[in-house]
Amino acid sequence: MTDAPSSLQRAAARNLVTKYLKVRPGESVVVESWSHTLSMATSMVDEVRRAGGRAFLAYEHDDAWWGAVDRGQAGLVGSLSEPEWAALGAADAYVQFWGPSDSARLARLPEKKMDDWATGWFDRWYKTAKSTGLRGGRMATGWVTDTRAREWGVNKDVWLEGILRACLADPKVIAGNGKRLARALRGGEKVRITHPNGTDLEVALAAAPARVFDGYPHPRNTGYGPYDLMANFPEGRLRVALDSKTAEGRFVASAPAYEEVWFPWARFLGGSFEFSAGKLTAFSFEQGGPEFSKLYAHGTPGKDRTGSLRIGLHPTVHDVPYLEELERGCVQLSVGGNSYVGGKNSSNFCGRLTLTGAEISVDGTTVVRGGKIL
The pLDDT of 339-355, averaged and rounded, is 92
pLDDT exceeds 80 at position 110: no
Maximum CA extent, the chain:
60
The pLDDT of 90-111, averaged and rounded, is 86
* Poorest-pLDDT segment among 78-87, 146-155, 263-272, 296-305: 263-272
Is the Cβ–Cβ distance between 5 and 156 less than 8 Å?
Answer: no
CA 288 to chain centre: 20
pLDDT exceeds 90 at position 108: no
pLDDT exceeds 50 at position 239: yes
| Side chain identity at residue 257, one-letter code | A
pLDDT exceeds 90 at position 125: no
| pLDDT grade for 106, boundaries at 50, 70 and 90 | confident
Predicted local distance difference test score (pLDDT) of residue 249: 98
| pLDDT grade for 1, boundaries at 50, 70 and 90 | very low
Predicted local distance difference test score (pLDDT) of residue 116: 63
Cα gap 238→326, rounded to integer Å: 9
* pLDDT tens per residue across span 179-226: 999 999 999 999 999 999 999 999 999 988 999 999 999 887 777 776
DSSP assignment of 155-211: -HHHHHHHHHHHTTS-HHHHHHHHHHHHHHHTT--EEEEE-TTS-EEEEEE-SS--E
| Side chain identity at residue 272, one-letter code | S
DSSP assignment of 48-97: HHHTT-EEEEEEE-HHHHHHHHHTT-HHHHTS--HHHHHHHHH-SEEEEE
CATH of 7-168, one of 3.40.1830.10, 3.40.50.720, 3.90.79.10, 1.10.260.40: 3.40.1830.10
φ, ψ for residue 355 (rounded to 5)?
A: -135, 125
Predicted local distance difference test score (pLDDT) of residue 353: 97
Domain ranges of the chain: 7-168, 172-373
CB atoms within 10 A of CB 112: 8
pLDDT exceeds 90 at position 262: no
Predicted local distance difference test score (pLDDT) of residue 293: 94
Cα gap 89→77, rounded to integer Å: 20
